[in-house]
A and B are shown apart, each in its own frame.
Chain A
Amino acid sequence: MFELIFFSVLNGLVFGMLLFMLSSGLTLIFGMMGVLNFAHAGFYMLGAYLAYTLSRYLGFWPALLVAPLLVGIIGALVERFGLRRVHRFGHVAELIFTFGVAIVIEEIVQLVWGRPAKAYEVPALLDFALFRFMQTSFPAYKAFMLLISVAIFVFLFAILTRTRAGLIIQASLTHPGMVAMLGHNVPRVFMVVFGIGSALAGLAGVIAGPVLGTFPGMAQVLGSIVFVVVVIGGLGSLTGAFVASLLIGIVQTFAVALDISVGSVLAAAGLPPLGTTGVLHELWQVTVAQVAPIMPYVLLVLILIIRPTGLFGTRET
């Protein structure tokens, strides 16, 4: 039991920090433009695919640097020539625009790399078990993922709170008019933040690709979860995104590991089963592990009903 809890917490941390790398960019972009970026998970996928191709020619380590950079540039271009144009048509048009970008990215990835999953592997240098604890071993690559995402977290935090550029970004989030009056180019700040957010998503893709798989559906698998994270955490709140990332990461990992159903609990308590066929019976037999994929969405709907601003948010739209 202790073994299960230990590894679930550890894996939950790895997954949660990965989610944070995605959700931090998404929530910053939202705070800035008031728009949820549907294409964010697309940039994550683009990062993984670019890193796959680059690592075949340059090796994994250069790809770790170059792929996020490329994704960041693509993101900045999308902001400069797409979103900025649509901005004057209102938030709904912007949201719909990013939705279209997400579709186009997914289709372009299929066009260039094809439909089958790519064999994007863990680099040989990190392909060993870091330690063994009781019966389970912990791969070094997961520790590396954790290291990278914690480093990014510290880096981001330091930049936003300790540097002049960070202060300008923070000020642009809340008082764009005032910042512009002081002589800063606010549209350019927006473009840079959008680029950095996309680059972070790309980096998440680079390091998650070998573990979670590099395939055309990878954006959809994680995209909705990241949305759940930023909405639960509170739109625009970095702290909220951090807490919600870890929460969802750990809840998901624990749920997958549990093989308990209502029926088994009833049986353990010595109660007779309720019906032997039909929908009710089926509901009773569903295990927690099977429900794991829908848990984030249940959480999302519940949070939005009870507290539409999310856990740490201050505004709704």
Chain B
Amino acid sequence: MSTPARATAPALAVPALARARWRRYAAWLAAVLVVAVLPHVVTAPAAVPVMNQMGIAIVFALSYNMLLGQGGMLSFGHAVYLGLGGFIAAHALNLAARDVLYLPVPLLPLVGGLGGLFFGALFGSFSTRRAGTVFAMISLGVGELMAASSLILNAFFGGEEGITANRTKAPLLLGLEFTTDRQVYYLIAFWALATAALMYGFSRTPAGRMANAVRDNPERAEFVGYSAQRVRFVSFCASGFFAGIAGGLFAINYEILTAENMGLTASGAVLLMTYIGGIGYFMGPIIGAVVFTFLQSMLSDYTGMWLLYLGILFLATVLYVPAGLAGLLMMHAPAWRAGRFRRLLGPYALTALFGLVAAVGVIGLLEMVHFMAAASAARSTKRLFWMTVHVRTLWPWLAFAALLVAGAAGARRAAPAAAAAFNEASRPAGLP
């Protein structure tokens, strides 16, 4: 990411760096503005709860990428730190409601963060000795361990019902009340922006840079004089802290935590969203969290199989765009700078059209299979793509299968042209 800056000539470096810095400040400022006006622009009734969920997911995914993207540690148990931080925050909220300790709601995420930090330091002390498969397996083991213990230790985890809290009972800070979703939105937005800035800052500290070095080549990092384990441990603790903050926000937003929030499914979801967004870029997890949460809430309104569609999207990402959505965007930066982006639109639109046709075919077939398996035998029609489909006849099956085959074949034919156009548009200016 930082190599182009180094490649510029020394005389140009200072203004170029200053410009880059201003651009970065402008990006953060724009983010603050967008977040501030968003609930006033998007006025759909379900929008604010979904945006709250997105904010929590963004913090969580960014903290996860501190491990996977920046530290090269693949974790299958990251939800443990969100969950434990959340449980601790929920208990603290209950104590605050009973006036046992003075703790206003806006500071609660910090309590969750400290909880996440504590358990991150505890589990990180032995799991960060190695990266790779050993780390992945230990994280899986710790995740399963906590998920199983949550059913045993009822006093802390609340058994099947979980721990409930009430955010309106806590003492007020500066008269800030949190009775509506919109008030909670601004709290989450504040914490999401603050933690995102902190995490971005962390990635540029020596500790963050060394995490990249240890990710790429632990042996060389050790020769330079850094302990790979300690570098990983620092990243792990920081990641646990921010995951705990996400847990604190979760406790405020939903006012309930159950063992499910710590399970393998929750850990898998954060892996999915981070990877779909792109682990190589700071923006990746943010994009992933927004897209994942949006699809999740959208799809679960229309179909019971939303996880299947997300799984297929995930597989397609791993197979075809391993750099994720952010990588896909960044890939086009050279073409954009060279002013040749418009030449790409035609071939891209053609490929996307065929891809869309294939997707309609797949969705139609899957929905009809679901209908055959789940609906009662008396029903024979289903609304699909604004049409009434007679599922128990042969024709819709043939039609959707034909769409799938035609779309896939067309995309296969159109893709080389799009790739050629991309290569043509991305070649450096001045070269023939």
Which residues of A line the B interface, CB within 8 A? 36, 82, 85-86, 89, 91-93, 95-97, 99-101, 103-104, 107-108, 110-114, 220, 224, 227-228, 231, 235, 278-279, 282-283, 286, 290-291, 293-294, 297-298, 300-301, 304-305, 308, 316-317
Q: How far is the CB of A75 from chain B (nearest CB, A)?
A: 15
Chain A, residue nearest B126 (CB): A305
Q: A93-B322, A282-B155 are in contact. Are A82 and B315 (CB under 8 A)?
A: yes
Q: A104-B308, A231-B137, A317-B132 are in contact. Are A220 and B264 (CB under 8 A)?
A: yes
Residues from chain A with Cβ under 8 Å of B134 in the complex:
304, 308, 316-317
Q: How far is the CB of A98 from chain B (nearest CB, A)?
A: 10
Do B74 and A92 touch across chains, with their CB atoms under 8 A apart?
yes
Q: How far is the CB of B427 from chain A (nearest CB, A)?
A: 24
Do A224 and B136 touch across chains, with their CB atoms under 8 A apart?
no
Q: A279-B155, A297-B141, A301-B142 are in contact. Are A235 and B268 (CB under 8 A)?
A: no
Indicate if B145 sits at the interface (CB-CB under 8 A).
yes
A82 to B316, CA, bound (A): 10
Do B152 and A291 touch across chains, with their CB atoms under 8 A apart?
yes
Do B141 and A301 touch across chains, with their CB atoms under 8 A apart?
yes
A291 to B264, CA, bound (A): 19
Do A96 and B366 touch across chains, with their CB atoms under 8 A apart?
no
Residues from chain A with Cβ under 8 Å of B275 in the complex:
96
Chain A, residue nearest B372 (CB): A112
Chain A, residue nearest B73 (CB): A92
A147 to B137, CA, bound (A): 32
Q: How far is the CB of A203 from chain B (nearest CB, A)?
A: 25
Indicate if B138 sits at the interface (CB-CB under 8 A).
yes
Do A100 and B132 touch across chains, with their CB atoms under 8 A apart?
no
**29 pairs, A vs B, C-beta closer than 8 Å:** A36-B137, A86-B322, A91-B133, A93-B318, A95-B136, A103-B268, A103-B311, A103-B314, A104-B308, A104-B312, A104-B315, A107-B308, A111-B305, A113-B373, A227-B140, A228-B141, A235-B133, A282-B153, A291-B152, A297-B141, A297-B148, A298-B145, A304-B141, A305-B129, A316-B130, A316-B132, A316-B134, A317-B132, A317-B134
Residues from chain B with Cβ under 8 Å of A308 in the complex:
129-130, 134
Residues from chain A with Cβ under 8 Å of B153 in the complex:
279, 282-283
Indicate if B177 sits at the interface (CB-CB under 8 A).
no
Do A112 and B144 touch across chains, with their CB atoms under 8 A apart?
no
Residues from chain B with Cβ under 8 Å of A99 in the complex:
268, 271
Do B369 and A96 touch across chains, with their CB atoms under 8 A apart?
no
Q: Quick one: which of B302-351 are within 8 Å of A by CB?
A: 305, 307-308, 311-312, 314-315, 318-319, 322
Chain B, residue nearest A317 (CB): B132
Q: Quick one: which of B58-81 are within 8 Å of A by CB?
A: 68, 72, 74
Indicate if B156 sits at the interface (CB-CB under 8 A).
yes
Residues from chain A with Cβ under 8 Å of B68 in the complex:
92
Residues from chain B with Cβ under 8 Å of A294 in the complex:
144-145, 148-149, 152
Indicate if B8 sits at the interface (CB-CB under 8 A).
no
Indicate if B370 sits at the interface (CB-CB under 8 A).
yes
A97 to B312, CA, bound (A): 11
Q: How far is the CB of A273 from chain B (nearest CB, A)?
A: 16
Which residues of B line the A interface, CB within 8 A? 68, 72, 74, 126, 129-130, 132-134, 136-138, 140-142, 144-145, 148-149, 152-156, 264, 268, 271-272, 275, 305, 307-308, 311-312, 314-315, 318-319, 322, 366, 369-370, 373-374
A82 to B317, CA, bound (A): 12
Residues from chain B with Cβ under 8 Å of A278 in the complex:
155
Known: A36-B137, A86-B322, A103-B314. 8 other contacts (CB 8 A): A103-B268, A103-B307, A111-B370, A282-B154, A283-B153, A300-B138, A304-B137, A304-B141
Do A300 and B315 touch across chains, with their CB atoms under 8 A apart?
no
A268 to B44, CA, bound (A): 64
Residues from chain A with Cβ under 8 Å of B140 in the complex:
224, 227
In the complex, the 6 A-B pairs of residues with the closest C-beta atoms, listed nearest first: A107-B308, A317-B132, A103-B311, A294-B148, A300-B141, A104-B311
Interface of A is mostly: helix
A288 to B74, CA, bound (A): 32
Residues from chain A with Cβ under 8 Å of B369 in the complex:
111-112
A93 to B317, CA, bound (A): 10
Chain A, residue nearest B130 (CB): A308
Do B130 and A100 touch across chains, with their CB atoms under 8 A apart?
no
Residues from chain B with Cβ under 8 Å of A291 in the complex:
152
Do B373 and A112 touch across chains, with their CB atoms under 8 A apart?
yes
Residues from chain A with Cβ under 8 Å of B129 in the complex:
305, 308
Do B311 and A100 touch across chains, with their CB atoms under 8 A apart?
yes
Do A95 and B74 touch across chains, with their CB atoms under 8 A apart?
yes
A220 to B374, CA, bound (A): 23
Residues from chain B with Cβ under 8 Å of A114 in the complex:
373-374
Q: How far is the CB of B104 from chain A (nearest CB, A)?
A: 27
A317 to B366, CA, bound (A): 38
A210 to B9, CA, bound (A): 71
A101 to B318, CA, bound (A): 11
Residues from chain B with Cβ under 8 Å of A317 in the complex:
132-134
Residues from chain B with Cβ under 8 Å of A89 in the complex:
318, 322
Do A97 and B319 touch across chains, with their CB atoms under 8 A apart?
yes
Q: Which of A93, A96, A108, A113 has the most CB of B within 10 A?
A: A96
A182 to B151, CA, bound (A): 55
Q: A104-B308, A297-B148, A301-B145 are in contact. Are A85 and B137 (CB under 8 A)?
A: no
A89 to B322, CA, bound (A): 8
A97 to B275, CA, bound (A): 11
Residues from chain B with Cβ under 8 Å of A91 in the complex:
132-133
Residues from chain B with Cβ under 8 Å of A224 in the complex:
140, 144, 264
Chain A, residue nearest B279 (CB): A92
A86 to B322, CA, bound (A): 9
Q: How far is the CB of A107 from chain B (nearest CB, A)?
A: 4
A300 to B139, CA, bound (A): 11
A185 to B276, CA, bound (A): 34
A316 to B369, CA, bound (A): 43
A136 to B154, CA, bound (A): 34
Chain A, residue nearest B318 (CB): A97
Residues from chain B with Cβ under 8 Å of A298 in the complex:
145
Do B126 and A96 touch across chains, with their CB atoms under 8 A apart?
no
Chain A, residue nearest B374 (CB): A114
